[in-house]
Amino acid sequence: MEDIVTLLVGRFEIVEEVKNTDKQLSTYLLRRLANLLENQHFLEALPGHLPADPVSQARADLIIARMKNIIEG
């Protein structure tokens, strides 16, 4: 999960990069991200993979938003 957090927080352009990647890869990523967003355990664990300060904790919403943006294309 740490890799997902790092990638989605650290690369603003990730949404466009996934859109513009190979169709097979983007399809795989869309499915995996959708599965994660449907997984209550993932959603509950996400804040635990961020530093405890309020600014860092607010990044959980950013991560979820970027995941949704990737899925919605």
pLDDT of residue 2: 84
- pLDDT at 73 exceeding the cut of 90: no
What is the identity of the amino acid at 6?
A: T
Q: Where in the chain does DSSP place strands (E)?
A: none
Dump pLDDT digits (tens) for 7-52.
899 888 999 999 999 999 999 999 999 999 999 999 999 999 999 9
Burial class (CB in 10 A: 0-12, 13-18, 19+), 46: buried
pLDDT of residue 59: 94
CA 45/CA 29 separation, integer angstroms: 20
What is the identity of the amino acid at 3?
A: D
3-state helix, strand, coil in the chain (%, to 5): 80, 0, 20
Q: What is the pTM (predicted TM-score) of this model?
A: 0.88
Dump pLDDT digits (tens) for 51-69.
999 999 999 999 999 999 9
